Amino acid sequence: MSVQMTTPIHLIVILGCRKLMTMKRHFLKTLFSFLALALFSAVASAGVKIEHWTTASGARVYFVETRGVPMLDVQLDFAAGNVYSVPDKAGLPSLTRSLLESGAGDLDEEKLAERLTDTGAQLSGRVDNDRASVALRTLSAKPERDAALTLMHTVLSAPTFPQAALTREKERSIAAIREADTQPDAIVAKRFAAAIYPAHPYGVSATVESVAAITRQDLIDFYQQHYAAKHATISLIGDISRSEAEAIANQLSQALPAGGASVTLPPVTLPKSQIIKVAHPAAQSHIQIGLPAVRRGDADYFALLVGNYSLGGGGFASRLMKEVREKRGYAYSVSSYFYPQLLPGPFGINLQTKRSQVNDALKVVDDVLSRFMVQGPTAKELVAAKKNLVDGLALRLDSNAKLLGYLSTIGFYGLPLTYLDDFPARVNAVTISQVRDAFARHVPRDHLVTVVVATE
């Protein structure tokens, strides 16, 4: 496959792209991995049959049987994201997740990697604000599947957290933080999170000092506390039967630690409206505008989703793209999003523009947002948004990988099992005044924070 592709839209297909860096255990905090935000923009049943039960040990299980390809995906999501970090040790949740693969049972790091590779399986995971995930993709033929699941079981139940691996990964993490602190995209994301979540764990990023303070005992304690069946959801999709899924879920969840009590998260408060300017020599200003806006499961979610399509979520159908990019050529990429979380997740607008025209671009964005807040979408825009969201459902559910994303989100956030079935009706029921009201409630403009990195 050929090298380096460029695309006209922000969605970006990275298939066959030149591999810039291989960082097997790169665990820099994925606090705001905004490119993934489209993920939950739309969900629907389209004939997807979700089976749900709870294991004896308390893990909630979500299962979809698909027989088309002889493979199986299993993902465990724990309430073990960055929001659960120990104070002054930001980075602990990511390090804990990462170190799960650095040795388990009687297998050291290298043996573990060898055994896993020999099964043909792929073990992966991620950590965001709320959750930490451990995911396995394996062939479904019994020998390979059993071997891979046994290893996943070992990783989940008996991680050894070797000191040498921890020391090394702390060093790599610190180096990655220092590097990220020189790059405008990373700086703007970090400053934005800190500004919209003042004095809240959602706003805290790992620092050189916080990572340096993390000990092996911290990892062990964090694992024992948070990687418990009662804090876990298990999502399975693929070429297995319900009874096989039950056996797998039982086996995996039985092995998990007992876990501590559920943690009460501190409330999110709205930030003061402010403009933060950060010096940087980049050619473009990197801009993020927003505030904490909406929880997962909020009654206004569908009004926000439908409205945001017309504001800045719908690519070239959106006002931001038309006004900032199409009419004026101010930016390659400009978009807006809602990212619901356990606690109010961000609403944001992102763009980058040549630094000399940053004020002009900000003015356009402000005008678009102001007008949208007052008027909401036009009748025509509303129809277009609904049509794309509803008719586009099928293609957001057409692979095991995509379905797994939805399954795990429905499970982790306790959304109704009928969420998929209800989706078209919920979208179609949204009115213009609902959009206006929802935006007024969730995007109070007198609390908006603007961060500009690389400006005069």
Site for another protein in 148-187 (CB under 8 A): 165, 168, 171-172, 174-176, 178-179, 181-184
- The stretch near another protein (CB under 8 A) out of 74-82, 222-230, 247-255, 327-335 is 327-335
The CB density around residue 191, as the number of other CB atoms within 10 Å, is 21
Question: CB 351 → another protein: shortest distance, Å?
Answer: 9
Pairing of strands 60-65, 232-238: parallel
Question: CB 113 → another protein: shortest distance, Å?
Answer: 4
Distance CA 361, CA 47 (A): 44
Interacting residues of 54 by C-beta distance below 8 A, sequence separation 6+: 60, 61
- The stretch near another protein (CB under 8 A) out of 76-84, 217-225, 309-317, 433-441 is 309-317
Question: CB 408 → another protein: shortest distance, Å?
Answer: 16
Residue 31 to residues 12, 47, 222, 291, Cα–Cα distance (Å): 20, 33, 18, 15
For another protein, the binding residues in 332-361 under the rule CB under 8 A are 332-333, 352-354
Distance CA 206, CA 29 (A): 7
Closer Cβ to another protein, 55 or 173, answer by number: 173
Question: CB 364 → another protein: shortest distance, Å?
Answer: 14
Interaction of residue 282 with another protein, rule CB under 8 A: yes
Distance CA 131, CA 448 (A): 26
Compute how many residues bind another protein; rule: CB under 8 A.
Answer: 95
Distance CA 353, CA 325 (A): 10
For another protein, the binding residues in 13-52 under the rule CB under 8 A are 13, 15-16, 18-26, 46
Question: CB 344 → another protein: shortest distance, Å?
Answer: 28
- The stretch near another protein (CB under 8 A) out of 244-252, 260-268, 322-330, 338-346 is 322-330
- The stretch near another protein (CB under 8 A) out of 196-204, 385-393, 407-415, 435-443 is 385-393
Distance CA 389, CA 265 (A): 33
Interaction of residue 137 with another protein, rule CB under 8 A: yes
Interaction of residue 297 with another protein, rule CB under 8 A: no
Residue 113 to residues 98, 107, 119, 160, 386, Cα–Cα distance (Å): 13, 9, 10, 14, 46
For another protein, the binding residues in 261-280 under the rule CB under 8 A are 279-280
* C-alpha dihedral sign at 3, 7, 13, 19: positive
For another protein, the binding residues in 397-456 under the rule CB under 8 A are 397-401
Q: Which of 126, 277, 328, 441 lies at the binding interface for another protein (CB under 8 A)? A: 328
- Structure token pair of residue 98: 């990462």
Closer Cβ to another protein, 23 or 429, answer by number: 23
Interaction of residue 11 with another protein, rule CB under 8 A: yes
CA 407-410-413 angle, to 5 degrees, is: 140
For another protein, the binding residues in 210-229 under the rule CB under 8 A are none
Which of 374, 365, 347, 388 shows the shortest CA–CA distance to 432?
374
Question: CB 6 → another protein: shortest distance, Å?
Answer: 5
Interaction of residue 88 with another protein, rule CB under 8 A: no
Scanning the structure block, which residue is given the tokens 């609902």?
A: 434
Closer Cβ to another protein, 119 or 205, answer by number: 119
Closer Cβ to another protein, 166 or 343, answer by number: 166
Distance CA 128, CA 93 (A): 9
Q: Which DSSP letter does residue 341 get?
A: B
Interaction of residue 387 with another protein, rule CB under 8 A: yes
